[in-house]
Copies of this chain bind each other. A is one copy, B any other.
């Protein structure tokens, strides 16, 4: 399991983190996604440089890449802030996700080889088992679900698509999911949907796989939307 996770989850860089700016990027991505750097908070370059014990040069390079994946917003000569989560943002993000992951499914049905499909099935079996063992533990579901989506995206074999989804959009997706959580009946239903998607891919039915993935993502969006509305009401 752990090797699998490493395979897919360490690849935001597409390589091992060799440079100090690479490590900074990974660390800050994690910190923002998990809310350690709170949404909406200002980022002070001197402060963070001290905190991570590096100079501002690699920090700024990491920040440029954080901006690329929509985790921070910069204004020239003014500074950078961690993004805020909002219903509008979620909807705009998931609109793109539906489209691109639908495409990824269609391409995966064409381009994944039998071995890759077999591995995808094996992954789902693992999920079913670990779900039984760790009922209600949300992190594994979180990671497992994303791992599933990652593999299909990689299976599309389209480098631009892979880059856009895995390197740019997915951190924000994770941020919504980690900070707003996924729970309740949605978790087990997601497994069934995953299964149906694999079947469509395995039978090389790209059109169906596309449709099922779009519905899967739409359902997931609905789930998070509810959470966001609840949080919104608390603050009123």
**Which A residues form the contact surface with B (CB < 8 A)?**
15, 18-19, 22, 57, 60-61, 64-65, 68, 70, 76-77, 92-93, 95-96, 99-100, 102-103, 107, 158-161, 163-164, 168-169
Contact = CB atoms under 8 A, between A and B. Distances in A.
Contacts of A60: 61
A165 to B, nearest CB: 10
A161 B76 contact: no
Give the interface SS of chain A, mostly helix, strand, loop or mixed. Answer: helix
Given A18-B76, A99-B102, A99-B103, 20 more contacts: A15-B76, A19-B76, A19-B77, A22-B76, A60-B61, A61-B61, A61-B64, A64-B64, A64-B65, A70-B160, A92-B160, A92-B161, A95-B107, A95-B158, A95-B160, A96-B103, A96-B158, A99-B99, A99-B100, A100-B100
A234 to B, nearest CB: 26
A155 to B, nearest CB: 14
Copies of this chain per assembly:
2
A102 B96 CA distance: 11
A112 to B, nearest CB: 16
B18 A77 contact: yes
7 contacts: A19-B77, A22-B76, A60-B61, A61-B61, A64-B64, A95-B161, A96-B164
Contacts of A68: 68
Nearest to A19: B76
Contacts of A163: 70
A213 B15 CA distance: 36
A103 B168 CA distance: 19
